[in-house]
Structure 1
Amino acid sequence: MSAPGSFHVSHLSKKFAKFRSDGHRLAHCLSRRVAPLSEVAVLNDLSFSIAPGEALGIVGHNGAGKSTLLKIITGTLAPTTGQVILNGRVFAILELGMGFNPDLTARENVRHVAGLMGISSAELEEVLPDLEAFAEIGPYFDQPMRHYSSGMHMRVAFALATAIRPDILIVDEALSVGDAYFQHKSFDRIRSFREQGTTLLFVSHDKSAILALCDRCILLDHGRLLMDGPPTAVMDYYNALVAEKESATLVQTVNTDGLTTTRSGTGEVTISDIRLVCKGDTVDLIEVGEDITLRLEASCHAPVARLVVGYMIKDRLGQAVFGTNTHHTKQPLVDLREGDFVNFEFNFPANLGPGSYSISISLSSTENHLQNNYEWRDLALVFTVVNTRHHHFAGSAWIPPVIKISRKS
């Protein structure tokens, strides 16, 4: 018997059929010899497993099949073929409404929906005070929910779904709704559940959230499982796909450090050299606060009307630390010719906390790489920051304070 918190998706497919009328649909149900007008495959032979306590992120463009997959996993939609095996108590936040009746108060809705979720009356009454306190909507908790904003709906829905720690928690994009304070509070609760062993299935377009919460990620594309691996590698590939539109020039390789690097682009301009320099020497080990230079040489293989060069520093989890480009600094280059070489120097102090960092590079014609993506390279450089000269501090930024203390007797 599988352990609580694990689940398995096996050869899952879903097709939606189109019929001339309800009578035609009924005839199809009674006799499979009556064919629908057409069928659209939304999921195609998906298979993956999740171990107890694992956090899996699911990403993909709109229409990739993410919502359909979640509805099948939670049992609100039947698959065409395949099966889902869940082990343990499962709570899900797929939509803000969660079956709430707008004419009922939050308290009344919570009691009603909790029963549908399999939470007993005794369990609910025990956690209801904490649930109400977590939602933080004050007297609105006893007012009809038709008066609520989308953020207030989110607060009640999330508070209910996490009132009791489940074996498996499934969260869709709903957390993107609402204020920043409650988002931080929600993510803290999810992290707490993870530390206690809850398995997490998290769907989001927010790269930072995926990287912060998940230890594995899958990428769906047109209903198929395109990639399954570390969140940094999957998100880099996904971002490159968004820029590339076509994957013909999108390549992933594993470097000598075992890291998956992603490279894409049309190739009119490419990176011919890149390095970090400190005091005239190429380095990959940097002291906190040290002045460094990112040197980059770009080679033109065709005429280019406009070139924008950008870089992004990321921490070891792939979270963005700092990024900019020559569009934002008002230094784009124009009318480059085939055979031109251009050198760029970005000088800055390494006001970073100790740890491992990477640099991504973008060559494009605009402020982002979604149009005329000449070259996009993740993990173009990897470097380490150490602290041997300053007082100990925590975090990813070196922001030394001037401390003044006054004492009165």
Structure 2
Amino acid sequence: MSLLVIDNLGKSYRTYRSEWQRIARWFFLPVKPSEEHWVLKHISFSVLPGEAIGIVGQNGAGKSTLLKMITGTLHPTEGAIQINGRVAAILELGMGFNPELTGRQNVYHAAGLMGFNTDEIKQAMGEIEAFAEIGDYFDEPVRMYSSGMQMRVAFSVATAFRPEILIIDEALSVGDSYFQHKSFDRIREFQKQGTTLLIVSHDRGAIQSLCNRAILLEGGTVIKDGKPEEVMDFYNAIIAEKENTTVKIRKIEDGSVQTCSGSGEASIESVSLHNAAGELVEFIPVGEPVSLRIRAKINRDIPELVMGYMIKDRLGQSVFGTNTHYLDCKLEALWAGEVVEYRFGFPANLGVGSYSVAVALHATHSHIARNYEWRDLALLFNVINISREEFVGLAWIPPSVECCR
């Protein structure tokens, strides 16, 4: 059975010529609004127990509005929401906190609204205070808190009791790195125990690390629902899309979905990986020198060309990326018909596993400014360990060691 079902959900904000017309609508009289702006429309999806779903999209796409309707802090204009379980949510920072009350008093208030009685809250209070780690400030008014301290208390009380559904809307981006790691560890522990996660974040790494599914909102509707890597690649292409840009999606031989976007002013002809002898390779021993060769064709006169690449792990998370702008090797004033080949040499100091390479042709320091072509999964390769000592992780960083006693 689905834990959460969203059926044809929509939200509009309406303006009326007078308050009398607004009141008339309360009694279902046929009064038309003078203006109507739909923030979300025709949103439908279901969530199974234990799923972790990332909600992504540009600012104004309707992500926060969707979460507020799921948590009941905002009423939908149309459609229905069915929830089969207890929900804990961290939406707007400090939402529901009274700035004149202390952190401890706000915990009683917030947990009470979540449905817990005084005895249950007292029993959990020590753990909440310890997890928040704000010291004596826990008994000071919240108005004295920094945004990071508010987030610590909000997250601590929201996760003091394991919910069936945990909803987080960008709140963790406010905290310091230490508390973010601590929070993500708790979220992962909840996931192991069966908690369903809905998270809004612009952090690609967080989405792909925590989630097994992602939903992309654009213009108030769902435009893609699938694996996090595929959705985030498509989202990246949407961001880079300009007036003369197209986004293309195709399946490659291994069944993965490749996303390409760009104006076409320059295009990628080939991407290949070579060993020290110049031979094409698909399997690379740990630490061996390799050369990434990228051949590009100029289709129209362009003022500048920058080539970039990004190595990603099997989950699509970035391992290393750079471009010729930062390497001080950009080209200027290129003519239609020219062909350019770049060769990037580096040691394969990577952990054992499969990797992909995304490639971009653009102007200036980033493909977002002027994107000629962005291609995800342009190349797939594998790293194997033939002669190195055993190690774990994504990077091979062999240490020297001294033992003193």
TM-score computed with the length of structure 1 as normaliser: 0.97
Tell me how far 1:120 sits from its aligned partner. Answer: 2.0
* Partner Cα separation in structure 1 for residue 254 and residue 327 of structure 2: 33
| Greater mean deviation of Cα atoms: 122-131 or 345-354 | 122-131
Contact 2:87 2:163 in 1 (8 A): yes
Task: State which of 96, 107, 112 in structure 1 corresponds to 2:109.
Answer: 112
SS at match of 2:154: helix
Q: 1:246 to 1:121 in 2, by over 3 A?
A: farther
Deviations 1:116-158 (A, max 9, x none): 1112222211111011000000000001111000000000000
Contact 1:241 1:247 in 2 (8 A): no
* Partner Cα separation in structure 2 for residue 116 and residue 122 of structure 1: 14
Give the letter for the 1:403 counterpart.
Answer: V
| Greater mean deviation of Cα atoms: 17-26 or 162-171 | 17-26
Matched with 1:16 is 13
Q: 1:366 to 1:298 in 2, by over 3 A?
A: same
Contact 2:245 2:263 in 1 (8 A): no
Matched with 1:283 is 281
* Partner Cα separation in structure 2 for residue 123 and residue 344 of structure 1: 63
SS at match of 2:123: helix
* Partner Cα separation in structure 1 for residue 233 and residue 175 of structure 2: 27
Task: State which of 330, 339, 351 in structure 2 corresponds to 1:332.
Answer: 330
Contact 1:253 1:262 in 2 (8 A): yes
Matched with 1:356 is 354
2:202 aligned with 1:200 = no
SS at match of 1:250: strand
Q: 1:247 to 1:365 in 2, by over 3 A?
A: closer
* Partner Cα separation in structure 2 for residue 143 and residue 25 of structure 1: 43
Number of matched pairs: 404
2:225 aligned with 1:239 = no
CA-based RMSD of the aligned residues comes to: 1.2
| Greater mean deviation of Cα atoms: 251-260 or 131-140 | 251-260
Matched with 2:319 is 321
2:292 aligned with 1:274 = no
Contact 1:255 1:261 in 2 (8 A): yes
Give the letter for the 1:45 counterpart.
Answer: H
Tell me how far 1:343 sits from its aligned partner. Answer: 0.9
Task: State which of 360, 380, 384 in structure 1 corresponds to 2:378.
Answer: 380
* Partner Cα separation in structure 1 for residue 282 and residue 274 of structure 2: 9
Give the letter for the 2:207 counterpart.
Answer: I
SS at match of 2:190: helix
Matched with 1:307 is 305
* Partner Cα separation in structure 1 for residue 380 and residue 236 of structure 2: 19
Contact 1:314 1:320 in 2 (8 A): yes
SS at match of 2:115: coil
Matched with 1:262 is 259
Task: State which of 38, 43, 68 in structure 1 corresponds to 2:40.
Answer: 43
Tell me how far 1:27 sits from its aligned partner. Answer: 2.9
2:180 aligned with 1:177 = no
* Partner Cα separation in structure 1 for residue 11 and residue 82 of structure 2: 16
Tell me how far 1:304 sits from its aligned partner. Answer: 1.0
Matched with 2:120 is 123
Deviations 1:355-377 (A, max 9, x none): 11110001001111112200000
The runs of 5 or more residues in structure 1 that have no matched partner are none
Give the letter for the 2:120 counterpart.
Answer: E
Tell me how far 1:330 sits from its aligned partner. Answer: 0.9
Deviations 1:7-52 (A, max 9, x none): 1101111111012343332233235322211101111111101110
Contact 1:28 1:36 in 2 (8 A): no
Give the letter for the 1:182 counterpart.
Answer: F
Give the letter for the 1:290 counterpart.
Answer: E
**Once the two structures are aligned, what percentage of the paired residues are identical?**
56
SS at match of 2:180: helix
* Partner Cα separation in structure 2 for residue 246 and residue 69 of structure 1: 28
Contact 1:307 1:333 in 2 (8 A): yes
Tell me how far 1:274 sits from its aligned partner. Answer: 1.0
Contact 2:88 2:167 in 1 (8 A): yes
Q: 1:248 to 1:330 in 2, by over 3 A?
A: closer
* Partner Cα separation in structure 2 for residue 405 and residue 103 of structure 1: 55
Give the letter for the 2:13 counterpart.
Answer: F
Matched with 1:402 is 400
SS at match of 1:182: helix
Task: State which of 164, 185, 199 in structure 2 corresponds to 1:188.
Answer: 185
Q: 1:31 to 1:89 in 2, by over 3 A?
A: closer
Matched with 2:59 is 62
SS at match of 1:101: coil
Contact 1:10 1:46 in 2 (8 A): yes
TM-score computed with the length of structure 2 as normaliser: 0.98
* Partner Cα separation in structure 2 for residue 218 and residue 53 of structure 1: 16
Contact 1:289 1:350 in 2 (8 A): yes
SS at match of 2:270: strand
* Partner Cα separation in structure 1 for residue 86 and residue 285 of structure 2: 49
Deviations 1:161-189 (A, max 9, x none): 00011111001011100211101111111
SS at match of 1:270: strand
The runs of 5 or more residues in structure 2 that have no matched partner are none
Deviations 1:273-304 (A, max 9, x none): 11000121111111100100000111011111
Matched with 2:136 is 139
Give the letter for the 2:248 counterpart.
Answer: V
* Partner Cα separation in structure 1 for residue 95 and residue 33 of structure 2: 32
Contact 2:265 2:300 in 1 (8 A): yes
* Partner Cα separation in structure 2 for residue 68 and residue 96 of structure 1: 15
Tell me how far 1:216 sits from its aligned partner. Answer: 0.2
2:80 aligned with 1:83 = yes
* Partner Cα separation in structure 2 for residue 155 and residue 339 of structure 1: 57
* Partner Cα separation in structure 2 for residue 14 and residue 96 of structure 1: 22
Tell me how far 1:312 sits from its aligned partner. Answer: 0.5
